[in-house]
Chains A and B, each alone.
Chain A
């Protein structure tokens, strides 16, 4: 009997350790990376650190925090460079801070830490105001000095950066809605229901049409005048991130690993789907000459505008984030890989890679 009680105590201790282990591994598994670039530097949010990396040789210009990573912060969102030289960082960690640092030096300008939810979406700057969507369903507004102005509840967790047409912010939500937010009135102007949860940003066409992918396994075109769905295009799997537009052709990938070219005017298929070797999450990068995507199996693909493969390059890890153009380079931020930033030239050859110390 005594040994049985001891067994129960030991099992209780084991349960505690196992649950703690699950919790810790869940935290690790929940990393993500965000990548942006200008003509000189790439800005990479990766776990508890953000790096500014020189594009000419892949060396670190600065990192934030400069000395030691803060375990309470985890940066998923793509860093945003403002016109006045700030770099805005949004954390999905337990402290979930919105941070502004000097883009040239990495020195902190200000920190906001009073949101209810974590930050997965990147903020956007319009007319010297910062608009930041949060997973608590609110859109937060700040001035460029980081002073909190207001927070308006939209609905559902907001995971993606808004797009703007001057008068309205268009924000996708996981609650299956696209919200049009009137910047002057500081209120929701209208909403349109999408076919499913939409974790990626909408795309705004030159004629004012919005395009959005969703977990409804569709790409949808929304008429912003009538606030209705113009057409939809069925995909095989969920569409995760933003889609891309070149001329009148939309490019989109899905979680089943299909890549599509769609006529933006009517939703007809132009070519495809082509099937690279894995799930496609990140938005395609469209250049004048080709379209680049990354797959979960760690390979980058370049297609011409007719859908033929120009080149493919094995990078390693998992390419969940969208590829980014930095100067003449194409940048990828693989996860589960020693090198967390890889630069390719326009023919797919690796130019450099960045592997953090330790």
Chain B
């Protein structure tokens, strides 16, 4: 099921792009990411809307009023919260959906990259069985895994002054940090959820950087492209909060 609906279609789309753009797997991953971002554009827009709506609620008098009024009656509080969500047209889970969509994409892409680059006999045999009949891969197998200084099937590092530095992982960390900061609306003092959001915007980029450092660099390329496109999308929608990038500003 996972193979049929996620891995095999992803692998074939990647191969199709690779074939038509002149056998560059790095460019194929970048174009594939743009495609994924385009498909999930409405979801990302919904996420931004949901985040904004939830943030505005934290300052709303009626919202604050019911928190105080029903603080000892959890059931009633939940009912009132749902009523307000409905009245304002806010989907409280709307901001989670794009994040949820990212997970199968990340895992699927990781497996597609590993399968497509097929560096061992068994992986090449499995790869040969994942191909749609309309794709003639005789000419393109084996795939060229080199892109710039990277081998996209392996974790990346660049020798600088005698040290192997994980350059891509650092870029992933920076772009992840930028993206999470730009999408965080201005917070009120004492706002606990905003404090939690700030913590997340620090921990998550390190987590993504760790993944980029540990797993094949093709995945890191996806992270970077996706982050840059995310920032561009927020900016285009006029939702990017550039002041958050200045250190010390809340």
User: Interface residues, chain A, CB within 8 Å of chain B?
Assistant: 1-2, 4-5, 7-9, 11-12, 14-16, 18-19, 22-23, 26, 29-32, 76, 92, 118, 120, 135, 156-157, 159, 174-175, 195-197, 199, 215-217, 238, 240, 255, 281, 320
Contact = CB atoms under 8 A, between A and B. Distances in A.
Nearest to A12: B207
B128 A1 contact: no
B215 A120 contact: no
A216 B120 contact: no
Contact of A19 (B126, B141, B192, B211): B211
A76 B96 contact: no
Given A5-B193, A26-B114, A12 B119 contact: no
A240 B122 CA distance: 12
Contacts of B215: 19, 23
Contact of B207 (A1, A16, A174): A16
B54 A1 contact: yes
Interface in B186-221: 192-193, 196-197, 200, 203-204, 207, 211, 215
Contact of B121 (A11, A196, A197, A199): A199
A177 to B, nearest CB: 12
Q: Give the bracket for the number of chain B residues in contact with chain A.
A: 35 or more
Contacts of B92: 4
A120 B121 contact: yes
B123 interface: yes
A15 B111 CA distance: 13
B124 interface: yes
Interface of B: 54, 58, 92, 95-96, 99-100, 103, 106-107, 110-111, 114, 119-126, 128, 138-139, 141-142, 192-193, 196-197, 200, 203-204, 207, 211, 215
B200 A5 contact: yes
Contacts of B200: 5, 8-9
From B111, B119, B125, B215, residue with most partner A Cβ within 10 Å: B125
A23 B114 CA distance: 9
B122 A30 contact: yes
A118 B118 CA distance: 13
Contacts of A29: 122-123, 126
Nearest to A4: B96
Nearest to B122: A30
Given A15-B103, A320-B122, 6 more contacts: A9-B200, A11-B100, A22-B111, A92-B120, A118-B119, A118-B120
Question: Does more than half of chain A's interface fall in helix, strand or loop, or is it mixed?
Answer: loop
Given A1-B54, A2-B193, A15-B106, A120 B120 contact: yes
A26 B123 contact: yes
B141 A2 contact: no
B193 A32 contact: no
A238 B54 CA distance: 57
A242 B128 CA distance: 18
B59 to A, nearest CB: 13
21 contacts: A2-B193, A4-B95, A4-B96, A5-B200, A7-B96, A8-B99, A11-B103, A18-B103, A19-B107, A23-B215, A26-B114, A29-B126, A30-B123, A118-B120, A174-B141, A196-B139, A215-B138, A216-B138, A217-B138, A255-B125, A320-B121
Nearest to B142: A174
A198 B54 CA distance: 58
A19 B99 contact: no
A118 B119 CA distance: 9
A255 B128 contact: yes
Contacts of B100: 11
A1 B187 CA distance: 14
A135 B139 CA distance: 19
Given A15-B107, A19-B211, A76-B120, A2 B192 contact: yes
Given A4-B96, A8-B200, A174-B142, A32 B211 contact: no
Nearest to A237: B128
B204 A12 contact: yes
A5 B125 contact: no
Contacts of B120: 30, 32, 76, 92, 118, 120
A128 to B, nearest CB: 30
Contacts of A30: 120, 122-123
A281 B196 contact: no
B196 A1 contact: yes
Nearest 10 A/B pairs, CB to CB:
A1-B193, A30-B120, A5-B196, A174-B142, A196-B138, A32-B121, A197-B141, A30-B122, A216-B138, A12-B207
B138 A195 contact: yes
Contacts of B96: 4, 7-8
Nearest to B145: A157
Contact of A22 (B54, B99, B107, B207): B107
A171 to B, nearest CB: 16
A49 to B, nearest CB: 17
Contacts of B207: 12, 16
A22 B123 contact: no
